[in-house]
A = this chain, B = another copy of it.
């Protein structure tokens, strides 16, 4: 039984495939002393038109550097969906002699196409491994099952991948039996750790005589991560099956333990739910990294998905045609300028009662309690709870606008607004960041056919310690503002200081 460590490749999901050179060096040197046969160090890929790091493209120079340190067989993986057989030569012939094995991540639905790619990779002289995803669904994939015998001609290893991290030892046994009934190719297992079953499943696979298993240092890998290499080695060592210098192992484990504290891979409640219910963890990762969805909403959405359930009701669409026509709108963001200039903004609104106030954030809502203008609150995800916290039990005057139905994260509307809750028909002006509060506020402007738009509370960030999340949010908002400006000829005028270059600067004090 062989072991393949794919820390750099699978861990790249957290670092965008960039790793500090020292960490990689220590990793390679440690593994020179460990009973692991293959090291998968990244993807090879066509240009993707966005920034992806060193180990997503694995340029020849990078592989040469790795090869000069490592005595192990190096492996790269291809995303089958992005690579055609015709591209194989240009992608792989430059790395002949540097890389021993090429793996392919394959959706069973594309298995036929994968067979042609594999034939081409084999012709170029590489060992070939099929990493076939979604093992828990294979029993239903008739066409795929019929094609499995064809792998004998083109593959050295056929991997079962527990993509959802939801299989149990009995499933591993059953799937091994299923595949063995169709092919004599060597078998592999790649487990995920959503349910902390990666070791139990891998030991089962080993017990069933599997030929190769995957692991990563500290389990670093997409979502909940993988079987931990140090755990597998320790257990096999204690069973007397292999021996190695613990000092070498612990050097690289130390490095990745430190990285883990920053990136925090590993399982948690949402990953457990997605694993236990076979839901794609890619979506879970996206949701978890979003600021405006609570853990609760994510769990509920996952549960709903697994049960094919929609737990929210359709709200009336705000029929703006029947509403009164507004002379303009003031969109209020969460920045401090909306409250630090509150007196003059209130004066401006009192002077212009036909301007509607749209709160993109609940944060500053209280500052506008005493103006006569109509007010709307944009409620994405958990924002209804935040709005209630801001008003601390007192009645909220206004209406709320929610994203279009169905809202996969569910619907929460503060009690005092239940009769004044509306949803947008759609968010169309942008392809990106559609579920952000700013997108909701701007789409409302379009629906209301308002052309005069004032802004406050969109300050941007200053100082020497702008966080990654702030920077991301800033770029999101810039993008949304530019869409409105460029395609709808609406000027967005900031009444308070702002660093958003897509907003036109002006001063509330010039308007009162």
Binding site for B on A (CB under 8 A): 166, 168-169, 193, 195-200, 203, 228, 230-231, 234-235, 237-238, 246-247, 249-251, 253-254, 257, 267-269, 272-273, 276-277, 295-296, 299-300, 303, 306
- Look across to chain B and name the residue whose beta carbon is closest to the beta carbon of A207: B170
* A195:B269 contact, CB within 8 angstroms: no
**Centre residue among A196, A198, A306 by max chain B CB count within 10 A:** A196
Say whether, besides A247-B296, A250-B269, A296-B246, A276 and B237 are in contact (CB < 8 Å). Answer: yes
Contacts of A166 in B (CB 8 A): 238
* A272:B230 contact, CB within 8 angstroms: yes
Say whether, besides A198-B196, A199-B197, A269 and B299 are in contact (CB < 8 Å). Answer: no
Partner of A296, one of B199, B250, B269: B250
A189: min CB distance to chain B, Å: 15
Given contacts A166-B238, A169-B169, 9 further A-B contacts (CB under 8 A): A200-B200, A234-B276, A246-B273, A249-B269, A249-B299, A250-B296, A253-B269, A253-B295, A254-B295
Partner of A273, one of B198, B234, B296, B303: B234
- Look across to chain B and name the residue whose beta carbon is closest to the beta carbon of A250: B295
Contacts of A251 in B (CB 8 A): 296
* A231:B195 contact, CB within 8 angstroms: yes
A253: min CB distance to chain B, Å: 5
* A196:B246 contact, CB within 8 angstroms: no
* A247:B300 contact, CB within 8 angstroms: yes
Contacts of A199 in B (CB 8 A): 195-197, 200
* A247:B299 contact, CB within 8 angstroms: yes
A20: min CB distance to chain B, Å: 20
